[in-house]
Each structure stands twice: as structure tokens, then as C-alpha cells.
A and B are shown apart, each in its own frame.
Chain A
Amino acid sequence: MSAFSAIGADSETDDEAFTPGIEPQPTWCPGCGDFGVLNALKKAMPEVGRNPDEVAVFTGIGCSGKLNSYFESYGFHTIHGRSLPVARATKLANPGVEVIAAGGDGDGYGIGGNHFIHTARENHDMTYIVFNNEIFGLTKGQTSPTSPKGHKSKTQPSGSAKDPLRPLSLSLSAGASYIARTAAVNPNQAAEILAEAIQHDGFAHVDFLTQCPTWNKDAKQYVPYTDIQESDEYGHDINDRAEAAQAMYDAESKLHEGEILTGRFYVDDERPSYTAEKQAIGEMPEQPLAERYFDEDAEWDRSYDLLEKHK
């Protein structure tokens, strides 16, 4: 038996395999968009062809951070904003593991903004799902980086003076090689996009519109939506960076005007993943590093060989 026999095992999984047994029951509010992400992810997994033991889901803190409590796989519920750096290293240490990271808009675009930019820039082979409900959910309704300008909350009583962050445009500038937006109210598209994102070899960023009926009463803004690939009006070449940038700009401008554009915005299949880049310059071992610790035949060189220059 290999040390990581779950990896690459022929798996005919159905979405039930990713549903934990008897506990725990989700603590999300009724009607919360987070259920939509969980269901879409479960639905995507059979498509991806991975079994629960070879998948690791990393989350931050917030309502979204509980995703991996309700999803059967290896899970790491990290700290606020830090899912990505933890996830990145697991991927580097064992590229065979399917790495998925998830977080809220406060978690991912606020406190974890720096990590988001740099993970995208490095194009790590992983999927990053941001539960974008335009609000801080778990801390009870404060304005988030994606809340619309003028948004009133207990901490912004006069309404936010800030323009909302443009996550798709930011992601494109930072270097993500797969960028899509989907919505909890559109389960079929969401599952399809997640499956595609997970299979993409590079950093796949999915801005997932989730409604927070508890703190963000404007949640209804997420219906109706238009799939930009389906619509003749918006169809653009998703491999063309300039066209994608324009489409993103339009989508981000229209979001708060009531027209919701979702779908794939940008896909770059040419760009090598970070692992491939690192391997190419000789800074990444061929054999997954994690395997070496279980390999009885592995050779462990010691520092003694380095002492020559100290003599």
C-alpha cells in the first residue's frame, strides 16, 4: 500500500460521499446562500472524479468558514483571511492533493487581500471560492469590502463612502488564470463552474454570489442574473484578456444596478501552474515532498556535505 493510496484511486463517487455522516448540522441561517455553495460543491465532485480522502478544503473565518465542517474531506478551518497561504503550502508539499480554499468577502478580499493577490499572482493550482454576500455575516452585519457605496451598517452609520472592491478585475490583474462568477440562486451553473474550476490547472477564482438574508436584506438583488456566455449581448472571448477585462468591468459596474452577470469571465489554459514553473527552475522536487517521509528507501542527505566551504 502506498502512503497516499487515496490519491489517484479510481473513484466512482457520488455527492453523498461528500456528505458527512451523522453530524454536524449546519448552523447557517435558513435561506443563507452558503447552502448553495455547499450543494454546488458536492454536486461538482463526482464530475471532478476525486474521492473525499484526496481532497482538502481550507477555509478562513466567517459563516463561509464552516463550509468544510459540512463537507466530507480533509479540512482545515484556519484563521480569518489565512486560508490561502495554508492551502498553498499543502499543495506544494503534496501536489497530488486536490486543494480547494474558500472564504467570505471580508475574509478573502479584506483581511486576506494580500494573500489573495499573491496566490493569484503565483498561479497555484487550486480553486478559491469566495462567498460574496457583500456583508460581514458572522460578526453580525458590518459593511464589507464588496458592500455597495452608501451601504449603511452599525459601523458605517452614515453609509459607506467607499466604492466596492472589484474582485474579478482585481483577480485578473493579480494573475488568476481562471476567473468566474456564479450565484447560489443558480445551482446548475454553479456546480458546472466549480467542477471546471477544480479541474483547471492553475489558480481558479470563483466569486460566488451568496445571499445573506439575515444581515443583507438586499439579497434579492441576486435575482435575476444573466449568464454572459449564454447571452448574445455579452458573449465575449474568455481567452482574450482585454475582452475579459471589459466584461468584468461591465459586470462589476452593473452588479448594484440590478443586472447580475455570471459565468466564466477569463480562462487561460496556457499559463503553467506555479508547481510547473518551480519544477522548471529546479526548485520543486519531482516526487511529492510529503511522500518522501513515508518512503523507506528515501535518501536523506545531511548538512555534513555542506561543511567544505567552512573549512
Chain B
Amino acid sequence: MPEPDDLMWRIAGGSGDGIDSTSQNFAKALMRSGLNVFTHRHYPSRIRGGHTYVEVRAGNGPVNSRGDGYNFLLTLGDSFARNPSEDAYYGNEEAKPLTENLDELNEGGVIVYDEGLLDEEDVEAINLEERAEENGWHVYPVDLRGIAREHGRDVMRNTAGVGFTAALMDIDPAYFEEIISNGMSGEMKEANLKVLEDAYELGQEVEHTHGWTAPEGEGHDEEQVLLSGSDAISYGAIDEGCRFISGYPMTPWTDVFTIMSQNLPKFGGISEQVEDEIAAAALAIGASHAGVKAMSGSSGGGFALMSEPLGLAEMTETPLVLVEAMRAGPSTGMPTKPEQGDLEHILYTSQGDSTRVVFAPANVEECYTQTRKAFELAYEYQIPAIVAYDQKLQGELRNVPESFFDEEPNADPGSVLTEEEIAEAAHHASDKFKRFLHEPEDGSNVSPRSVPGQEGGRFLATGNEHNEVGHISEDPENRVIQMNRRMGKLDDIREELDATEQSHQTYHGPEDAEYGIITWGSQQDTVFEAVDELNEAGHSVKAVGVSDLMPFPETEMTEFLESVEHAVVVEMNASGQLRGHIQKELGKYGDKLSSLLKYNGNPFEPRDVVEGFETSNGDGELPHQRMTYVPAAGD
């Protein structure tokens, strides 16, 4: 077994067992040790018990995906697996964290399981020894629960597991000690430190059969911070002057809603948990109408309820920023599993010829910058802007240089007039402010607005078609002018994004490559890793991660598609929604685009993309059921 470049550590257990916090601390410790880190989170849709795991990948090179499989398994058992009544016991759940994770463990990997929890028969029953031999795994049974019990409580098994891992992998325990010391106090802290120390010692004493260690951190040039996509969206909003959030809980949107609710009051802002998603979006509209930068959001089903207010914002030209955190659908679908199945819903929902800005950031940095841009455009152009991401990006953590967030705030509410400007602006003979000018003075499609309480700014905002002062109008001429002006904003925005080289599309691989891969959102960096593997293996491939979904980057995408022989669109849904969108926007390429689709609840791994590409190239065929390949039209 060659020494792995990256440590790919998986901690598995029951949800409620502290898997999340343990893995976060583990990742943070490795980041502080000078490594780059990335976490991937998998959890079932239940509160306690049920199989859950988190992977932490760490290495000195860039780590932008979970990688292929993993090489270190720490299983804690599932302490919530038993039903309270004895006879409701449903199978050996305690062995599950061990059995359920073995399929993806790489050859030569290490297994640490809690001997304190699992009886010998349990382990025999799953043929662990035999399987370990076949795969060259190294198995370390250790009584984690015993160590935890000795100094504290059973739940400290996770600390014991971390200590034991550190010893097996030769990671300096000081990083963990520091995190425990800073994060806890009193007896808890002392007990955890003891557990860590004991487990570490034990890990040093046992005979190491695996012969490889974690990479030693080469250090970072500057201070790093460990953030999720949700953190970055929230912080982007805050820096853009967003001080009003309204929402209704729904996984995984709840993440942003929680982060914002916990911070906004400290920043002088307002958070409102309301009765439903219709209200949530409507409140954001009301706050924005009053001149405040506001945001709302939801996931699939909740976002569906926002369809009508979304159109209202568009028609009344009230700036609105929404977050759509996708999860697997239709309907309630798989609440805790990622999917990119809402693309068409996000692009086209709401009645009429409805337009909006849609960005799909691919990673933590993009979540921050694109949320900022979404606000800027929404408020400048008085149009709804949606930031679409998914449960994968919501839950994964990565280290980013702190300086990345060292950005000036922008509280400018965009195209709002001051009272002095209102006094100078056009008014109707009846004294009403001409809020919806047919031909805005600067020749743009944006007619500046006033907000309630401003002198001389009275107008009517209505979801009905309306004339220049806002009164309902079904006059055909007015209708066409107002429609054209509202829809024209999208072209203006497209131009702005193009002209200032603010392209959000990310390219990877040799420019003159023969083949292309197109992907979007959270799958981008995994695809890029696969592109490297493919090129190393002798293929000629490049990839593009599309973030601007509306307005669609026509020029850029046409150039990309013209430069390759064939392109595979990689996305996490069953119907190839991005592929359809490309064809619709560009009006062709049906014969040049094929689809690699995955919708089993798990995101792509680099090797999935490698296999899919080879299939598209006629060099192979998908070896398993977890993905679907849809050839180009006419193939």
C-alpha cells in the first residue's frame, strides 16, 4: 500500500452522537497544523440515531472534493439505535456504522472500531477479518467507550477516537488539546483532555501494522478560516448591507436562516421567523419596498410557495434576494440528501414571462462573492436574484484565507432616490411620482424608486400591469413598453457581467483540449479533480463550471462548445436540466451534448466522472447503477 497523499478520514456513528462537532474540530485541528481541509457530510433524515458520517480530507495540495473513497474509518457505534422498549430492538444497529461504511473504504485503509460497544459475535457476524484480508485493511479494535467512561461519560468516545486516530496517524495531539481547551471549560474540559491523552497513549502503544501516516502540514502563507457554503452566503449578504431576513425552517435552507438570525440583531438588523414561505418572501419584499436590503429563501417545497411573491417582486420592481438550498425532490424527496433537481424550477417558476438573476456558486469563495453580486444586481436593477446551492455545499467545510473576506461593506440600496432627487424627478399631473417611467432618463431600463415616508415619492406598486405612476393599466401600448423594459434588464445585466469581466464561469484543464465537461454548482470542483486525473491518464479534456444560469453567458458557452468535439454535462439530477437549459439558451448543440447524471442522494466523486467520461468516449461503460449516461441526440 503506497503512502496516500491525502488523509481521508471518515467518522461514522449515529446522528446525535456528536459526529458533526467532532469532525469539525478534527478538520480545524488539521487546518491549524498547516494542511488544507475539506469535509463532506452525510446524514439521514431523522433526529437521533440512524447512520451518519462525515469525511475529512486533508492534504498539502488543494483539496476541493471528498476524493475517491476514503482511507481511515473511525466508527463509534450508534448509541441511539435502540428503541426504548427492549422488544422493539431492530437488528444490530451498533454494528451498522462499521458495516455500512466498508464498501467505500480504499485498499490498505485503516479501521478503528469501538470494542467497548461491539461484541465479538457482532464482529464475527460481519466477516470483518475475511474482508480485511481481501482488501489489505488494517483493523484496530479499541475500547473507546472504556476510556471515555474512565474519565467522564460515554459520549466522550468521540474524543477517545480522535486521540487514537492522532496516534495511529502520527498527528501532533497538541492541536486537539488546544481546541478542547478553547472550546470547553471546567470538568468537561479536564475530562476530555484526559480521554484524549489516554487514547493517544494507547494508540502509540499498539502495534502499527499499516505503515503510513497523515501528511505533515507544510503550513499556510496566511491565516486560514474554516467555513461552509452557508456561512459564506450569510457573510456575503451581511457585507452587502443585508439587515433583514425572513424565513421558515426547511432543510437545508435552515442553515443560512440560522446563521443570519443569530448574527443580524448584533449588526442592528432584523430577523423574522414567520408562518410560511409565502409570508417569508412577502416580508422580504415589504422590507425591500421600505428601503432595506432584505433576503429570504427556502428549499424545494418552500421555494415552490415563493413562486407567487417572486413574480410580485418582479412586476413591482422591488429588489428581492432569495436563497434556494436544493435537496432531492420531488415533493419532500430526500430531505437531507443533495440534488440539483430544482434548476428548472428556479429558472422558470412564477407566472408569465418572468425574469430573474440566478447564480449557482460552486464553493465557499463563490458563495460569498456571488451572494454579494446577487444583492448588487437585485438592488441596482430592481429585479429578483436567486442564489442556488445545495445540501452538499451547505454542509461542507473548507479552509479559505481569512484575507479573502477582507472586503469593504456595501450598503448602497441601489436605485433609490433621495428626497432632493425626488423633488427634481418626473411627476404626473396628479402629483404622483412617476415610479415606472417608460423611458428612464439615463437611457437604461431602470426607473429609480422612492420609499414610503419620503416626501413627494408617493406611487402605487402593484402586481397588475401598470402605467408610469403605478396605476393598473391594460393599455396595449403601455403593456409592451413596460414588459420590454422589465425584460430588457436581463440583457443589461448580461452585458454588465460580460463587459466588466465579472464572469463567474470557472475553467479548468488545457485550453485546446479535445473534449469538454460542463457542470454547475457544487459539482464543479469534483469535476475539476476528475479532469486532472483524465488528462494524466492521457485524455484531452477541459471543463467549465457554470455559475451564471440567468442571464446565461451565451458568448462564453458558445466559445467553449465550439472549441470541443463533444461535451458531457455532469449534474445531480435525473433529467439533465442544465443540458436542456444550454440547448434552450443557445438554440443548438443537441448533437454535441451528452449527460452524466447522478441522483441517488450522493454527490459525484471524481472517479464517477472519470468513468462517465470514458463511457461517453466509447472507452467503457458505467459499471454500476448509481449513475446514468444519456447520449447526445442522434447518437
Given contacts A86-B289, A285-B268, 7 further A-B contacts (CB under 8 A): A21-B432, A66-B472, A69-B471, A74-B459, A75-B470, A79-B463, A90-B290
Given known contacts A5-B455, A97-B290, A79 and B308 CB-to-CB distance under 8 angstroms: yes
CA distance A292 to B402 in the complex (A): 28
Output the least CB separation between A54 and chain B (Å). Answer: 6
Given known contacts A3-B418, A3-B454, A293 and B278 CB-to-CB distance under 8 angstroms: no
Q: Which residues 450-476 of B have a CB within 8 angstroms of A?
A: 451-464, 470-472
Output the least CB separation between B341 and chain A (Å). Answer: 27
CA distance A279 to B225 in the complex (A): 33
For B471, list chain A residues within 8 Å (CB): 23-24, 69
Per-residue contact bits, chain B 393-420, to A (CB 8 Å; 1 contact, 0 not): 0000000001001111101110010111
A69 touches B461 (CB 8 A): no
B405 touches A307 (CB 8 A): yes
Flag whether A89 is at the interface (Cβ < 8 A).
yes
A89 touches B291 (CB 8 A): no
Output the least CB separation between A138 and chain B (Å). Answer: 12
Flag whether B382 is at the interface (Cβ < 8 A).
no
Give the total of B residues in contact with A, Cβ under 8 Å. 81
B409 touches A302 (CB 8 A): yes
B420 — nearest CB in chain A belongs to which residue? A1
CA distance A4 to B428 in the complex (A): 21
CA distance A4 to B419 in the complex (A): 8
Per-residue contact bits, chain A 63-95, to B (CB 8 Å; 1 contact, 0 not): 000101100111111110010011111101110
Per-residue contact bits, chain B 367-393, to A (CB 8 Å; 1 contact, 0 not): 000000000000000000000000000
> Which of B239-247, B514-522, B549-557 participates in binding chain A?
B239-247
CA distance A117 to B22 in the complex (A): 42
Given known contacts A77-B461, A78-B282, A115-B279, A22 and B270 CB-to-CB distance under 8 angstroms: no
Per-residue contact bits, chain A 38-80, to B (CB 8 Å; 1 contact, 0 not): 0000000000000011111010010000101100111111110
B286 touches A86 (CB 8 A): yes
For B478, list chain A residues within 8 Å (CB): none
B266 — nearest CB in chain A belongs to which residue? A301
Given A55, A96, A302, which contacts B408 in the complex, CB threshold below 8 Å? A302
Flag whether A228 is at the interface (Cβ < 8 A).
no
Flag whether A217 is at the interface (Cβ < 8 A).
no
For A249, list chain B residues within 8 Å (CB): none
A96 touches B453 (CB 8 A): yes
Given known contacts A20-B430, A285-B270, A310-B226, A93 and B239 CB-to-CB distance under 8 angstroms: no
CA distance A9 to B453 in the complex (A): 10
A114 touches B275 (CB 8 A): yes
A74 touches B432 (CB 8 A): no
B409 touches A85 (CB 8 A): no
Output the least CB separation between A129 and chain B (Å). Answer: 17
CA distance A96 to B453 in the complex (A): 8
A89 touches B282 (CB 8 A): yes
For A149, list chain B residues within 8 Å (CB): none
B265 touches A282 (CB 8 A): yes
Given A21, A85, A94, which contacts B290 in the complex, CB threshold below 8 Å? A94
Given A21, A79, A90, A294, which contacts B287 in the complex, CB threshold below 8 Å? A90
Given known contacts A302-B407, A303-B235, A53 and B286 CB-to-CB distance under 8 angstroms: no
Given B231, B312, B429, which contacts A79 in the complex, CB threshold below 8 Å? B312
Output the least CB separation between B471 and chain A (Å). Answer: 5
Per-residue contact bits, chain A 1-43, to B (CB 8 Å; 1 contact, 0 not): 1111111010000000000111110000000000000000000
Per-residue contact bits, chain B 232-256, to A (CB 8 Å; 1 contact, 0 not): 0011101101011010000000000
Flag whether A290 is at the interface (Cβ < 8 A).
yes
Residues of chain A touching chain B, judged by Cβ–Cβ distance below 8 Å, are 1-7, 9, 20-24, 52-56, 58, 61, 66, 68-69, 72-79, 82, 85-90, 92-94, 96-97, 114-115, 117-118, 278, 282-285, 287, 289-290, 292-294, 298, 300-304, 306-307, 310-311
Flag whether B348 is at the interface (Cβ < 8 A).
no
A115 touches B287 (CB 8 A): no
CA distance A222 to B282 in the complex (A): 34
CA distance A198 to B265 in the complex (A): 28
For A72, list chain B residues within 8 Å (CB): 432, 458
Q: Which of A118, A282, A300 has the most CB of B within 10 A?
A: A300
Q: Which residues 253-279 of B have a CB within 8 angstroms of A?
A: 263, 265, 267-272, 274-276, 278-279
A287 — nearest CB in chain B belongs to which residue? B268
CA distance A285 to B460 in the complex (A): 28
For B263, list chain A residues within 8 Å (CB): 306
For B420, list chain A residues within 8 Å (CB): 1
A114 — nearest CB in chain B belongs to which residue? B275
A304 touches B430 (CB 8 A): no
A303 touches B312 (CB 8 A): no
For A306, list chain B residues within 8 Å (CB): 235, 238, 263
Given B278, B431, B451, B464, which contacts A21 in the complex, CB threshold below 8 Å? B431
B430 — nearest CB in chain A belongs to which residue? A21
Q: When A and B form their complex, which 10 residue pairs have the shortest distance between CB atoms, in order from nearest?
A: A21-B430, A89-B286, A303-B235, A85-B282, A93-B290, A77-B462, A4-B453, A310-B225, A86-B286, A89-B283
A301 touches B453 (CB 8 A): no
CA distance A294 to B131 in the complex (A): 68
Given known contacts A85-B274, A293-B416, A21 and B428 CB-to-CB distance under 8 angstroms: yes
For A55, list chain B residues within 8 Å (CB): 452
A81 — nearest CB in chain B belongs to which residue? B278
CB-defined A-B contacts under 8 Å, sample of 7: A6-B455, A24-B471, A85-B286, A89-B290, A90-B286, A283-B271, A306-B238
Given known contacts A72-B458, A85-B286, A310-B225, A5 and B419 CB-to-CB distance under 8 angstroms: yes
Flag whether B223 is at the interface (Cβ < 8 A).
yes
CA distance A293 to B409 in the complex (A): 12
Flag whether B615 is at the interface (Cβ < 8 A).
no
For B407, list chain A residues within 8 Å (CB): 302, 304
Given A85, A282, A311, which contacts B225 in the complex, CB threshold below 8 Å? A311
For A53, list chain B residues within 8 Å (CB): 452-458
Per-residue contact bits, chain B 268-310, to A (CB 8 Å; 1 contact, 0 not): 1111101110111011111101111110000000000000110
CA distance A7 to B290 in the complex (A): 13
